[in-house]
Amino acid sequence: MTIIQQNPATRSSIREAWVPICAYTDLLPERGAAALVAGHQVAVFRTFDGRLFAVGNRDPFSGAYVISRGIVGTRGEEPVVAAPMHKQPFSLVTGVCLDDPATAIPTYPIRVVNGTVEVSAA
């Protein structure tokens, strides 16, 4: 097994239940895709440098499940996705909205195993 990337914060978690999502190559660089993981809608992103991120797909501002369709980029050093409805930027690392830190979307552990992207949303 080769682990290309695993979020350090989650490495020691014992409640991880990894669900395979798709092939790593199915994800377009700098674009997202939505996945159903244990009843949760998760937005999965592959950034330009090959890193992966998983956050909640629900846009807390509009209530629609559309975060995976947002434009991916950076704000300063922070990788972000802009909500497609009204463009609020969310950190892909922490899920916090950079223009309104009281609002955040959940983040999920994500990794690649033998070319397959896996998300844990237990």
Contacting positions for another protein (CB under 8 A): 19-22, 26-31, 33-37, 41, 44, 47-48, 58, 60-66, 69-76, 79-80, 82, 84-85, 87, 89, 102-105
CB of 121 to another protein, least distance (A): 12
From 41, 49, 45, 7, select the one nearest 28 (Cα to Cα).
45
CB of 96 to another protein, least distance (A): 9
Q: Which is nearer to another protein, 4 or 31 (CB)?
A: 31
Q: How many whole angstroms separate alpha carbon 3 and alpha carbon 101?
A: 32
Q: Which is nearer to another protein, 11 or 28 (CB)?
A: 28
